[in-house]
Amino acid sequence: MTQADRVKKIMARLEKAYGPVECALHFSNPLQLLVAVILSAQCTDKRVNLVTPALFKKYKEAKDYAKADPKKFEEEIRSAGFYKNKAKSILSCTQTLVKEYKGKVPRTLEELVELPGVGRKTANAILGNAFGVPGICVDTHMVRVNQRLGLTKNTDPVKIEFDLMPIVPEKEWTNYSQLIIHHGRVRCFARKPDCANCVINDLCPSREDL
């Protein structure tokens, strides 16, 4: 069985087990998703979803973030952790949006990764979930689960993304990411994966080692 064939089987079983899996971050537009994804670095989506309602009510457009007082903004996102760096990234990013994109979030990977605080993971999350453009979003769950599945030997997220691109159908890049991330959260745990109840355990070369 080729890697591509195994990926198709993996996706089919995960889709049957979990049904449609959507982005766990709450948002209503691309700007809100951009802010939420930046906040989600080294923070749970659940925590981010507790922080963002007040933010989204107060800051409705990029220009609102761009002119925010840095110290006050830091306090507003403090509970998301690493608040100083995240505040700097969000405010710098939105200032760039105002200056170069008329306050709108760009729709290409090349433009997105040029924004302050935005890497390929964030860019692909925005493309896939806000614009419907397929993207492989590699977070800690994607790193761990794809390594265990033997689909990559790399630890660098960008290298893992490029490893997956040829074996995951392009139209499924976002869907595959969501399924694997969800599987990592509910079954393929970091410390003690629940292999006994895993619907893809026979497709996983690591099952006997975990």
**Closest alpha carbon to 32 in 110, 90, 113:** 90
16 in active site:
no
With H, G, I as helix, E, B as strand and everything else as coil, classify residue 19. coil
Residues 6+ apart with CB under 8 A from 192: 210
Contact 167, 11 (CB under 8 A): no
Six-digit token pair at 45? 């989506």
Q: Which of 121, 153, 156, 192 is catalytic?
A: 121
Longest CA–CA span in the chain (Å) reads 56
State how far the Cα of 30 lies from the Cα of 103, in Å rounded to an integer.
11
Q: Which of 72, 139, 156, 171 is catalytic?
A: 139
State how far the Cα of 55 lies from the Cα of 73, in Å rounded to an integer.
9
State how far the Cα of 29 lies from the Cα of 10, in Å rounded to an integer.
31
139 in active site:
yes
Which residues have a catalytic role annotated?
A: 121, 139
